[in-house]
Amino acid sequence: MSKNISNEPLKASVIQPGFDRSGLTSRIVHLGFGAFHRAHQGLYTSEMLALTGSDWGICEINLFGGEELIKQLRQQDHLYSVLEKDAANPVVKISGAVTESLHPELDGKQAVLAKMADPEIEIVSLTITEKGYCADLSTGHLDSNNGLIKADLSHPSEPQSAIGYIVEALRIRKENGDKPFTVMSCDNIQGNSHVARQVVLDYAAELNSDLHDWIESEVTFPCTMVDRIVPAITEESSAALAEQLGIADPCGIVCEPFRQWVIEDNFVSGRPDWGVAGATFVEDVIPFENMKLRMLNGSHSFLAYLGFLGGFKYIYQTMADKDYRTAAHKLMTDEQATTLSMPEGTDLTAYANLLINRFANTAIAHETYQIATDGSQKLPQRMCESLRYHFAKGNSVTWLTLGLAGWMVYVGEKDERGGSIEVRDPMLSEIRSQLAGAKSPEQIVKALLSIEQIFGTDIKQNQAFVEQLIQAVANVKELGARGAVAAALAKQTN
């Protein structure tokens, strides 16, 4: 038997699951056993189990890649570790909520469908990233040109996409006369489960109107707001985890101490009492979701593009630069917080200060390059909606404009030193096509603003903004990202 956290002694400081795992039943299927889920929903569920003695186990499923991770998880009895790390007081916890795991490449598609269609499964939750929804995020509807969707509609009983799996499992439930499951998104998408609902319904409508109507009337899709900074694991952070744990854990992850989970209380049958572990159940998640998407995620994107171009590898390094720190705070308070409509008593200035302090945590090596991925999927929620708000009010948008300029230069695939940038984005071919032959800032801006899936048809109509964006792109190219940030600050203070 190989040495792992299920059969080797761990350091005394490690917090172990405080419940009998033999009494758990798989009642949740989770699609997307990534780092964020392990640090967030997986850990919340483990801590809830320790406090309630309930039986809400999780069956983890990766649909694309991650076969080796699933194998490793099985080898250590579905236990994994989480290092909550700050500079002063690192804490290691073992999550014990996972009961089983599946992968279509290891177990077959039918095994995955059978588990999702099992009447004991009450919730199917998702962390599949923006592109996993196969949606046109400018419309919120299913992208009928998506290759996975085309293949799934041709062979719905042999799905590839998460949407295809969900609808086929629901079809089986309906056919068997079983109750449906709740579909709960935990991705950073505005109205995340509303998006899930729309693409599921759009897909089902292509197959069968009765199935569409049944899903529409019987299945619930509660939205969530999730927040925790979880960098991709590196050799360095893996070694830090092993040191604190007492043994290497290939399934372990490292994250910041802070976490937040706001959940719309709208479940078709049962749900765990995640509230005892710190989650908040509300009637409407959207205000909290917008707060996080715009203030945290929007400023993260700003720092990712301008930070990467400026030579900063990690977010905490951007916070050590006075200009970047000031600019990020101004973006949050002046241009993002003002777009929000929050419940009474919400202190958005305090929230901004909290975010700046979280970004400055030197124990969390969150790479600007990692955050810069999939920008075409993120910008609509993180920046474009705020732009529309300010256009309607006639407000200035210095920092939103500069953030978009950073993205436009970044996706040109050349850094300030002439080196190549390996841009990772599902729309990269479209971006390249639009940028073909675009050399000047004006050509770059007009080419990229014409991508309607990102910017819609309206943003490019605001000529004053277009001119401002052209100047911002010119500044990033001519002054460098650091120079452009400094120049924008200087202009505001003059």
What residues does each domain of the chain span?
A: 21-282, 286-493
Confidence (pLDDT) at 1: 54
Q: Please list the pLDDT of the chain residue by residue as tens digits (494 residues).
A: 578 998 999 999 999 999 999 999 999 999 999 999 999 999 999 999 999 999 999 999 999 999 999 999 999 999 999 999 987 889 999 999 999 999 999 999 999 999 999 999 999 999 999 899 999 866 889 999 999 999 999 999 999 999 999 999 999 999 999 999 999 999 988 889 999 999 999 999 999 999 999 999 999 999 999 999 998 899 999 999 999 999 999 999 999 999 999 999 999 989 999 999 999 999 999 999 899 999 999 999 999 999 999 999 999 999 999 999 999 999 999 999 999 999 888 999 999 999 999 999 998 889 999 999 999 999 999 999 999 999 999 999 999 999 999 999 999 999 999 999 999 999 999 999 999 999 999 999 999 999 999 999 999 999 999 999 999 999 999 999 999 999 999 998 86
Q: Tokens standing for 246?
A: 């007492």
- 163 alpha carbon, distance to own chain's centre: 17
**Amino acid at position 28, single letter:** I
Confidence (pLDDT) at 136: 85
CA distance between the termini of the chain: 68
Measured CA to CA, the distance from residue 356 to residue 328 in angstroms comes to 8
| DSSP for 382-430, written as a single string | IIIHHHHHHHHHT---HHHHHHHHHHHHHTTTB-TTS-B-----TTHHH
Measured CA to CA, the distance from residue 378 to residue 407 in angstroms comes to 11
Measured CA to CA, the distance from residue 39 to residue 229 in angstroms comes to 9
* Nearest alpha carbon to residue 53 among 96, 6, 18: 18
Confidence (pLDDT) at 190: 80
Q: Which fold has domain 286-493?
A: N-(1-d-carboxylethyl)-l-norvaline Dehydrogenase; domain 2 (1.10.1040)
The answer to whether domain 21-282 has CATH 3.40.50.720 is yes
Q: CA neighbours within 13 Å on the CB side: how many for 132?
A: 22
Global pTM reads: 0.84
Confidence (pLDDT) at 137: 67
